[in-house]
Structure 1
C-alpha cells in the first residue's frame, strides 16, 4: 500500500508492508508531472523460508528412497486385521531366514519409517513385535488372511489371544 503526503517542496513517501512502516524522503523536482509519480512501483522484498525449502527437498528424497525400495521387492498394502507371514533375515553367528506369522494390530505409514506392530503366539504366550517394513532384512511379505475390523489400532486383542488360533 502506498500513500503520498505533500509537504512543501518535498515529497514524503510512506510505505507500509507487513506491518513495517518506513519513511523515505526523496527530493522530487516540481517539474515531474503527476502521471510519472503515479506509475512508480516500489519493488517488493521476497522473504524466502529456507527451512520450508529444505523440508521440501528432504521429502522429495524420501519419496525417491521409498520408490527405490518398492522396485527392489514387492511390499503389499498392509492394514490392521491382516494376518501376514514375514520372512526375516536374522543375524546370529551366521545369517538365517526366520519365518514370522501373526496379526497386524497397528500400523504407521511414514515413508521409509513405515512400521507395523505384529502380534503372535510363541509357546502359548503373546508376543508383539514392532517391525519396520522398508529395511533390507525383510525378504518377503505375504498376506495370508484379511480380517474385517472397524478400528485402526487393535490393542484389545492383547486380552483375546484366541483370534490368532485357526
Structure 2
C-alpha cells in the first residue's frame, strides 16, 4: 500500500456521512459545540455560505452574518467533531463560486435571490 492510500483510509474513518449538500449562497444554521467551564453546549451560528474550499477531510465553508451592524465571517471545518449539525434554511441563486463581493455591500444590497428548483 502506498502512502496516499494509507492516508485516505485513515481519513475515511473520520468523514461525516450525514452532511447535507451545501452550496455557495445557501443560508445555513451550523450547530457548534462550545465548551464553557466544565459544560459543553451547542451554539447555533446562522449566516450565508460565501465560500467552499477543498474536499475530503479538510473541506471548509465560510459563513458570513451581520451581527449588530458588523460583518462576522467564520470558517467551519465540515468534518470536525466540533460541528454538531448543519441545517440548510434557504437556497439562493448565485452565479459564482465565491461571494466575497458581499463584504463590500451593506443592507438590502446583500440580499440574494431565492432558488426554488431543488428541495433541501
User: Structures share a fold, TM > 0.5?
Assistant: yes
CA contact (8 A) 1:120 1:164 kept: no
CA distance in 2, matches of 1:164, 1:87: 23
Give the TM-score taking structure 2 as reference length.
Answer: 0.81
Q: 2:43 & 2:66 partners in 1: Cα distance?
A: 15
Note the residue ranges of structure 1 that are not aligned, 5 or more in a row. Answer: 1-49
CA deviations over 1:38-62 (Å, ceiling 9, x no partner): xxxxxxxxxxxx8xx2122222332
Displacement of 1:109 after TM fit? Answer: 3.2
Find the structure with the greater CA-based Rg: 1
Contact kept in structure 1, 2:14 and 2:79, CA below 8 Å? no
1:10-35 Cα offsets, whole Å, 9 max, x none, are xxxxxxxxxxxxxxxxxxxxxxxxxx
1:86 aligns to what? 30
- Of the three residues 1, 9, 25, the one matched with 1:60 is 9
Q: Distance in 1 between matches of 2:95 and 2:111?
A: 17
Q: Does 1:133 align with 2:78?
A: yes
State the SS of the aligned residue for 1:144: strand
Find runs of 4+ consecutive structure 1 residues off by over 4 angstroms. none
CA distance in 2, matches of 1:78, 1:62: 20
Q: Root-mean-square deviation (CA), in Å?
A: 1.9
Q: Distance in 2 between matches of 1:149 and 1:110?
A: 21
How many residue pairs end up in the alignment?
109
Give TM-score, length-normalised by structure 1: 0.60
Aligned residue in 1 for 2:103: 158
Higher relative contact order (CA 8 A, sep 6+): 2
1:108 is displaced (CA, Å) by 1.2
